[in-house]
Amino acid sequence: MHSENKNHANYNVGLKVLIKKGNEFLFLTNSKNGYFDLPGGRIDNNEHEKPLSEIIEREVTEELGNEFRYKLGKLIFSFRRHFENKNLHVFLAVYEAEYLSGDIQLSNEHDGYKWMNPKNINLKEENFFSKEEYKAFKTFFKL
C-alpha cells in the first residue's frame, strides 16, 4: 500500500437538471456573469440524509417557482467548477428531466431563460463558466 501524504481537494457537490420539452432544453442565464446555467445548486449542510431527488426538488422550486412541474430521470453527465477567488471547488452532477407543466418564475440567481435545441444553435465556449463545462455539454449533445 502506498502511503504518500496527499493534499486532497475539498469539493462541494451540486445537483443540476437538464429539462427537456419536446426537442428543446431549458437553459438559464446566470445573473452574475451571463453564462448558461441549469436549474439546481449545491447540497446544503443539513441535507446529508435527504434523497437527492428532494434536494433537486428544493433547488428547482427555488429557481423556477412553485408551479413548475417535471419528471426527474437519471444521471447523464457531470463537470466541475472552480472559483479560485473563493478557494471553492464544486462537482456538479446533471440529471435529465422531462417538463410536465407550469410557468417559470425565475429567482434572482438568473435573469433569463430560453428553451432551445443545442443542435440548432452554435454553442460557444464563452457561453459557459469553463472549458470543462462547455466540453461536457458538447459531448452530451454530440456537437
pLDDT in tens, the chain (143 residues): 555 668 888 999 999 999 999 999 999 999 889 899 999 999 999 999 999 999 999 999 999 999 999 999 999 999 999 988 888 999 999 999 999 999 999 999 999 999 999 989 888 999 999 999 999 999 999 98
pLDDT value for 2: 58
pLDDT value for 87: 86
Cα separation, 26 vs 114, whole angstroms: 6
Query: For residue 5, what pLDDT is reported?
Result: 65
pLDDT at residue number 56 = 98
State the DSSP string of 17-66: EEEEETTEEEEEEETTT--EE-SEEEPPGGGTTS-HHHHHHHHHHHHH-T
For residue 62, count CB atoms less than 10 angstroms from its CB and return exposed for 0-12, middle for 13-18, buried for 19 or more: middle
Rg (the chain; Cα; Å): 16
Cα separation, 32 vs 134, in Å, equals: 18
- What does CATH list as the number for 12-141? 3.90.79.10
Q: What is the pTM of this model?
A: 0.92
